[in-house]
A and B are shown apart, each in its own frame.
Chain A
Amino acid sequence: MTSRSLDAAQLVTPTSREDAIEAFGDGAELTVLAGGTILMPELNYGRLRPARVLALWNAGVAGIRREGSSLTIGAMTPVAELEAAPEPLATAARSVADREIRAQATLGGNLCATPGGEIPRGDLQAPLIALGARVTTAGAGGQRTEPVEDFLSNGPGGRLVLEVELEEPAGAGHATVGRPHSHGFTILAACAAETSEGVRVAVTGAGSHAVRVHSVEQALAGGASPEDAAENVLKDVQPRDDALASAWYRQRMLPVLVGRALHDLSQKEGTRG
């Protein structure tokens, strides 16, 4: 609990993309507030008492724009709207929390989601990596557009997420360890997509953010069967113990899930979306 009161927070609510970028500046001493599904509990329990808050509600960075097979998705687009996005993003979006949370949670917040109690909570990251999505951000040094996996490995600090661009894939696959309750966070999930640069594969649940698994992709490109290629996943990720599952369990389940996602992909190849 910090001593500053909630009253002391200066709230900035820009009404355009340009104003949001200017208000963000280099991001120092600033808390970005999107849907608030992660930040509000922090405020409610007094764990976070920000000095300055940049709320993006009216910043005009929401919505999905389609041009042919290209999509541009604004950072403030609610997860609920992504249920109609290309696969495997749509399936991952549908399995986030419940109807009310999905209507409030945003794409940008999911990309910047910090792990909660060591549990990762950015379920849209792996599908975006598999789709070869690129994210445009603003911050010190101006705007830049980079692959989602690069953005994630740099850590979200200091950047304002504006939008994500992706191409509809020729096929997609998804496999997850299903949990019975809608508020159960994802233990592990694997996503695959047939993109213009070949099959891309990413996993959720083996670290604080989703990871692209190059070794699996390379084995596939070299002609390995989906099952054999999937075994390579442990070359790229070292699962840890957390509150949801042990590293032991994850090491055994990851190749299985990657194999299932690749199998799912091979069943649907050629059927867009």
Chain B
Amino acid sequence: MKLTVNGVEHDVQAPQLASLLHVLREELDLTSPKAGCQQGGCGTCTVLVDGEPRRSCLLPLAAVEGAAITTVEGLGAADELSPMQAAFDEHYAAQCGFCTSGFLLAGTALLNGSPGATREEVLEALSGHVCRCTGYVKIVRAVEAALHGEVHPERVEASFEPEETEVLIPGSPA
């Protein structure tokens, strides 16, 4: 089956009823969508399907054949963040990061579809996403900053100066 992710077409082998989440992570090595609950209740697996936020754990592969899938890997690069990513960075809207991909994509869809969203609409758009670290305040602040165009990518770029990484634990992914 053919699957288009972040503009690249892939031939995938997984069963037609495997979840899109499984295919993205296990077959295509795209690990920004997280397998939080795999039953629709947490939002960490959210991707964009033709621009709309969807739970990739609830989508059978066969249902998205021919659709354009976007994951965080397709949003921006480390030295060229998308406006939503830049806002999350600037507002410290991620702690452990497990929920962040889902929030970024839900926020991106909101930015593209209703940039004039009110506070209530922002909360509604994010309501299916669970964060166990931040208390949500900084996430909401970041999404609203992006909606209002109040991001300063130059400050973000500076924080992405390549650093020497020290591998402390042998075999760790650092």
Contact = CB atoms under 8 A, between A and B. Distances in A.
A2 interface: no
A182 interface: yes
Interface in B52-99: 52-55, 57-60, 62-63
Nearest to B54: A100
A101 B59 contact: no
Nearest to B37: A41
Given A7-B15, A99-B53, A182-B127, A45 B38 contact: yes
A99 B127 contact: yes
Contacts of B54: 100, 103-104
B62 A40 contact: no
Interface string A1-30: 000011101010100000000000000000
B60 A100 contact: no
Interface stretch (B16-24, B147-155, B166-174): B16-24
B115 interface: no
B124 interface: yes
B58 A33 contact: no
Nearest to A6: B15
Interface stretch (B3-11, B26-34, B39-47): B39-47
Given A100-B43, A100-B55, A40 B127 contact: no
A170 B39 CA distance: 39
A7 B61 CA distance: 12
A44 B26 CA distance: 14
Interface in A164-211: 181-183
B128 A98 contact: yes
Interface residues of B, number: 27
Given A98-B127, A99-B124, A55 B62 contact: yes
A36 B59 contact: yes
Nearest to B123: A182
Interface string A51-69: 0010101000000000000
Contacts of A224: none
Interface majority SS (helix, strand, loop, mixed), chain B: mixed
B46 A100 contact: yes
A99 B62 CA distance: 22
A98 B127 CA distance: 6
Complex A-B, nearest 5 residue pairs according to Cβ-Cβ distance, in ascending order? A98-B128, A41-B39, A182-B127, A6-B15, A40-B58
12 contacts: A6-B17, A13-B62, A36-B60, A37-B58, A41-B39, A43-B60, A44-B57, A97-B40, A99-B53, A99-B125, A100-B128, A101-B40
Given A41-B58, A101-B128, 18 more contacts: A6-B15, A7-B15, A11-B17, A11-B62, A37-B40, A37-B58, A40-B58, A41-B40, A43-B17, A44-B38, A55-B63, A98-B127, A98-B128, A100-B43, A100-B46, A100-B54, A103-B52, A182-B127
Interface of B: 15-19, 22, 38-41, 43, 46, 52-55, 57-60, 62-63, 106, 124-125, 127-128
Interface of A: 5-7, 9, 11, 13, 33, 35-37, 40-41, 43-45, 53, 55, 57, 97-101, 103-104, 181-183
